[in-house]
Chains A and B, each alone.
Chain A
Amino acid sequence: MTREFDEAFHVCLELIREGRETLESVVARYPEYAEELRAQLEAVTWLFAHKTALEPRPGFVAASRRRLVARIKEGPQPAPLTWKDRLLQAFEPQKVAPIAFVAVLMVFLFLGGTIVTLARNSLPGDPLYSVKRNLEQIALATSIDKSRDAKHRLQFVEARLTEIKQLIEKGRSEKLQETVVYTRV
């Protein structure tokens, strides 16, 4: 069975089901599949013709509805919905999952961006200084050519000099020696 045959079959089926065309006229639309389509559609129309024998007796539906409702009322009532059930119905997991995924992703991106920004302004001895140094190492490791690598190294030496200046201004001279070592990028 090819996809094309399946599509042809469904087009024919709908036209016959809606009573818009006969089996012969729909089969004529697809001469390349005519034989197989006719065989399948004849079997299906045979089923359609027998559907009428499967309808409930007149009066059954109304009578059994009354009987069912009475049995339900007599029997134990279903447990009332818990807050968990109501929550699950209001926020069906399949619908909520993509939204939750995007929300979590945005939180991670926001936190990541905040950490990177704070790290860029950190000085030796600050908790995020190691993040700043690691980001610099990553930038160096991923430089695509020598000129860019040299540009990065120059930027980082300038950053160390700025850090030394800020450490002196803040009176944190105990980190000066360490920072001087870091200038050897």
Chain B
Amino acid sequence: MLEWHDQDDNELLRRAKDGEAEAFGELYERHVNAVYRFLYARLDNRLDAEDLSEEVFLRAWNSLNNYHERGIPFLAFLLIIARNVLIDHYRRNGREPKQVPIDDLQLRDKNPDPGEVTSLNVKHQELRQAIELLRDDYQEVLVLRFINDLSPTETAKVMKRSTGAVRVLQHRAIAALRKTLEEHYDQRIR
């Protein structure tokens, strides 16, 4: 039996381009967390992040033949698609936060720990409230650099800017975040 986890991304991509859905499934498992984090940091509820993560990969599957490595890692390719999916989502639904009851969030979860769930939701809300006050490009650079742990060069590829521009933008975004945290959450920053 073929062990997918032994294959590197390039081999999986080659197989996926030849139509092997299972190879693409392995790529999904490797990269979905990063895509999910990117989306959930910019969305108000988990279910949207889950649905949109799957949509990102479906779009990636449909445009797989347009992906030639050309110095762009596959994750950067996925995050470029995720940006577009997010923009489409905002266009369809606006940016008004949709509060989802905690119970609803756990419908698909078999063993939810209520204490942990509440703590995570509070943290998520804190993060959302702090970064949604920032400009879009500030939000994006912060999420890519410090939530997705992309390098400045990889971030530049996703944002279609130069590495130097990303470095400058990143420092401005951090300063803006710092200001927001001081104004709204001073007791929580340290």
Nearest chain B residue, comparing its CB with the CB of A62: B29
> Complex Cα distance A65/B165, Å?
36
**Contact A46 to B28, CB < 8 A, known contacts A69-B22, A85-B65:** no
**Residue in A47, A68, A85, A93 whose CB lies within 8 Å of B146:** A47
> Complex Cα distance A80/B18, Å?
7
> Complex Cα distance A80/B68, Å?
15
> Complex Cα distance A24/B168, Å?
24
A115 on interface, CB distance cutoff 8 Å: no
Q: Is the interface of A mostly helix, strand, loop or mixed?
A: helix
Of the 9-residue stretches B78-86, B91-99, B122-130, B154-162, which lies at the interface with chain A?
B122-130
Q: Can you list 12 A-B contacts (CB < 8 A)? A: A6-B171, A40-B175, A50-B127, A55-B37, A60-B108, A61-B33, A64-B32, A65-B25, A71-B58, A72-B21, A78-B19, A92-B69
Tally B residues with Cβ within 8 Å of A: 56
> Is A68's CB under 8 angstroms from B33's CB?
no
Q: Which residues of A contact B104 (CB under 8 A)?
A: none
> Complex Cα distance A140/B33, Å?
72
Nearest Cβ distance between residue B11 and chain A, in whole angstroms?
13
Q: Which residues of A contact B132 (CB under 8 A)?
A: none
> Is B33's CB under 8 angstroms from A78's CB?
no
Q: Is the interface of B mostly helix, strand, loop or mixed?
A: helix
**Residue in A54, A58, A62, A94 whose CB lies within 8 Å of B41:** A54
Q: Which residues of B contact A59 (CB under 8 A)?
A: 108-110
> Is A53's CB under 8 angstroms from B124's CB?
yes
> Is B147's CB under 8 angstroms from A43's CB?
no
Nearest chain B residue, comparing its CB with the CB of A60: B50
> Is A78's CB under 8 angstroms from B69's CB?
no
> Is A88's CB under 8 angstroms from B68's CB?
yes
**Residue in B29, B41, B120, B175 whose CB lies within 8 Å of A61:** B29
**Contact A42 to B168, CB < 8 A, known contacts A54-B36, A60-B108, A80-B19:** no
A57 on interface, CB distance cutoff 8 Å: yes
**Contact A1 to B190, CB < 8 A, known contacts A67-B54, A78-B19:** no
A89 on interface, CB distance cutoff 8 Å: yes
> Is B174's CB under 8 angstroms from A51's CB?
no
Give residues 62-82 of A contacting B (CB, 8 Å): 62-69, 71-73, 77-81
> Complex Cα distance A47/B24, Å?
31
Nearest chain A residue, comparing its CB with the CB of B122: A53
A48 on interface, CB distance cutoff 8 Å: yes
Identify the B interface with A (CB < 8 A): 17-19, 21-22, 24-25, 28-29, 32-33, 36-37, 40-41, 46, 49-50, 53-54, 57-58, 61-62, 64-65, 68-71, 106, 108-111, 120-121, 123-124, 126-127, 142, 146-147, 149, 167-168, 171, 174-175, 177-178, 181, 188-190
Q: Which residues of B contact A50 (CB under 8 A)?
A: 123-124, 126-127
> Is B53's CB under 8 angstroms from A64's CB?
yes
**Contact A52 to B181, CB < 8 A, known contacts A40-B171, A94-B70:** no
Nearest Cβ distance between residue B1 and chain A, in whole angstroms?
16
**Contact A55 to B33, CB < 8 A, known contacts A78-B19, A92-B70:** yes
A31 on interface, CB distance cutoff 8 Å: no
> Complex Cα distance A66/B25, Å?
8
